Structures are given as structure tokens and as C-alpha cells.
Amino acid sequence: MMLSPKLKSKCQRFISKAVIYILLSCLGFVIIYPLFGRVMLSIMDEYDLYDDTVRFFTRRLNFGNYSLAIHYMNYWDSLFKTVIYVLTAGICQLFSSVVIGYGMARFKFFGNRLLFMFLLLSLIVPPHLISLPLYLQFQQLKLLDNIFSIAILCLTGVGLKSGLLIFIMQQYFRGFPKELEESAMIDGAGPIRTFFSIALPSAVPMIATVFLFSVVWNWTDNFYTSTFLPGNTFLPRMLLGIKGVLQFDQQTRYGVFNLVISSLAENAGVLLLIIPLIIIFIVAQRYFVESIENTGIVG
């Protein structure tokens, strides 16, 4: 059987599209499934859980879980504080990882290798091991419960997972062609100007990724915030507290406490924690799509 070349290429394209959709859908299903369960649970009524005929799809639509979660997490207020905190930490981490990553990738100074080894060591050492001495240090400086403590950690590249962010940028700049920067140097631009006008614009997809990581990690982190900002009311802490507070409240009001209701409220709280991050991703993802073709740099 002979196929015309046009038909053949059409067939090939169809098959490759089909493969993409099937593979991504299968893998995506595995990821979505538990989350789908959470979403379905969040609109269930307490009685749905006792009802054996209910699987996934509620019979008694109920948005009360969300209002409970919003009330007990003090949602809007803590959302606002979380956003401020995450933006501060994120911008500091972004700045430090780009600058330090560039410095380590581009300049051959004495001690560069040693610094790189410390970078890897900082990836290996889990934060809980060094948190106590750091806590004491910040206590002496009277910087506890002050956002400066986090800002200092992030700016100096030792904040929450900063090591990985620096590592990403460092490897990116090492793979970036040096010739462009050298020609800028010959034209009379200093290293700092070269950095801002040549290296930075080309790194937009990487910068967007690093910033996104930083935002997500700081958003859901409870370790750094509870260590250095013990009085914080950010979303993760409110979410972890929701069950206890709700149970206590029920007990004092009605003399009984209901584990199911507090679990349902906690589940709704989890979704309320995730939703802003998904919105941020949808807004930010176009920076991954725009590759360097738009920046006018040709490798």
C-alpha cells in the first residue's frame, strides 16, 4: 500500500500527538487523583462520610467546610501576611541566587571551588541540624520575630533551600556562551553592566523557575517561619492549628467534639493553601514559554 507523502506526515503527526496526550494524561491522572479526592471531600457534608453509598460524589452539597476553614485560619488576614512574607523572602532569594550563581560561574577567583563545595554541603545538611545554633545567634542579635532575620538568611544565600537555587543559576550561567559577554566587555561595559544587560535578560526562563520554587517553598514552609518568626500567623501554621482550635471550640460550646468536622475543615484548608499557588503558576508559566528567541540573543 502506498501512502502519499502528505498523508504519511499527517499520520505521523497524529500519532505523535496521540502519544503525547495518552502519556501525559495517564501520568497526570496519577497526580490529580488524590487531589481530586480532596476537592470532592471539601464539598461533602459530615453525613456523607457515614453514608456507605457515597463515593467521591456528595449527595449533600456543602460549602460549610470552606467557611469553617476560612474562619478558623483567619484566612484573608493570614493570606495577606503570607503573601508579604513570601514576596520578601522570594525576592531576596532570587537576588542572591542570580548574583551569587553568576559570580561563581563567570569569575575564576581564589576559593571558588571551595565555595562550590560549601554550596553542595549546604544542600546536604538538613536545616533542623543547624537551626538551634542559628536560633541562638539571632536571639542574641534580637532579630527573632523580625522579618529581617529571614531576609538576611535569604540574601546571604543560606535561606530555605537557597543552595539549590544558587546551584541552578550557577549551572545555567556556566552553560551560557561567554562570547557575548566578552564582546560587551570589548565595547567597554564593566562586569556589572554586562551582568545586567547581557546575562540577565537571557536567563528569564531560569529566573522565573527559581522565583517560582522560592515562592512555593516559602509558602508551604513551617520550619523556618516557626523557628525565626515564632509569633507568625502565616497560612501553614494556621492550617496545622486548625484541628486543635476547632476541637477546642466545639468542646467549649457544645461539650462534644467531632473529629469528622475538624478533619473536613482541615481538608478544605489544605485546598485554600494550594489554590493561590496554582494561580501564581498560571500567571508565571508564560515566562517558561517565552524562550530566548524573544530576547534577541542568539547562541
Partner 1 sequence: MKTKGSLVSRRQKYGYVFVLPYILGILFLFLTPIVQSLMISFGEVSTEKGFDIIVKGIQNYHHAFRVDPRYVPLLLESIGSMFATVPIILVVSFIVALLLKRDFKGRLVFRCIFFLPVIIASGIMKTLEFDDILSSAIVPGQTNLVTGEVLTTSQQVVTELLLNSNLSPAVSNYIITGITNILNVLNESGIQILIFLAALQTISPSLYEASAIEGATGWENFWKITLPMISPHILVVVVYTIINSFVDPNTNIMLYIRELTYEKFMFGYSAAMSWIYFLVISIFVALTFLITRPLIFYRDK
Applying the rule CB under 8 A, the residues between 180 and 209 that interact with partner 1 are 190-192, 195, 202-203, 205-206, 208-209
| Sites for partner 1 among residues 220-239 (CB under 8 A) | 220-223, 236, 239
Report the nearest approach of partner 1 to the CB of residue 218 (Å).
8
Q: Look at the alpha carbons of 219, 223, 227, 231 in this order and tell me if their dihedral is positive or negative.
A: positive
Instruction: Give the nearer residue to partner 1 in terms of CB position, either 108 or 142.
Output: 108
- Asked if 260 touches partner 1 (CB under 8 A), the answer is yes
Q: How far apart are CA 46 and CA 5, in angstroms?
A: 61
Interaction with partner 1 in 144-173: which residues (CB under 8 A)? Answer: 152-153, 155-158, 164, 166-168, 171-172
> C-beta of 190: minimal distance to partner 1 in Å?
8
Q: Give the one residue of 137, 139, 183, 197 binding partner 1; rule: CB under 8 A.
A: 137
- Taking the CA atoms of residue 56, residue 59, residue 64 and residue 68 in that order, the dihedral angle to the nearest 10 degrees is -40
Residue 253 CB, nearest approach to partner 1 (Å)? 21
Among 59, 121, 139, 248, binds partner 1 (CB under 8 A): 121
- In the set 75, 85, 213, 228, which binds partner 1 (CB under 8 A)? 213
- Tell which positions 23-82 bind partner 1, by CB under 8 A: 23-24, 27-28, 30-35, 37-38, 40-41, 44, 48-49, 54-56
CB of 11 to partner 1, least distance (A): 16
Least Cβ distance, residue 51 to partner 1 (angstroms): 8
Q: Please work out the total of residues on this chain that contact partner 1, with binding judged by CB under 8 A.
A: 116
**Residue 6 or 128: which CB sits closer to partner 1?**
128
- Interface with partner 1, residue 136, by CB under 8 A: yes
Q: Can you give the three-state secondary structure of the chain, one letter per residue?
A: CCCCHHHHHHHHHHHHHHHHHHHHHHHHHHHHHHHHHHHHHHCCCHHHHHCCCCCCCCCCCCCHHHHHHHHHHCHHHHHHHHHHHHHHHHHHHHHHHHHHHHHHHHCCCCCHHHHHHHHHHHHHCCHHHHHHHHHHHHHHCCCCCCHHHHHHHHHCCCCCCHHHHHHHHHHHHHHCCHHHHHHHHHCCCCHHHHHHHHHHHHCHHHHHHHHHHHHHHHHHCCHHHHHHCCCCCCHHHHHHHHHHHHHHHHHHHHCCCCHHHHHHHHHHHHHHHHHHHHHHHHHHCHHHHCCHHHHCCCC
Quick one: which of 68, 100, 150, 272 contacts partner 1 (CB under 8 A)? 100
Nearer to partner 1, 56 or 80 (CB): 56
Question: Looking at 70, 83, 91, 99, which residue binds partner 1 (CB under 8 A)?
Answer: 99
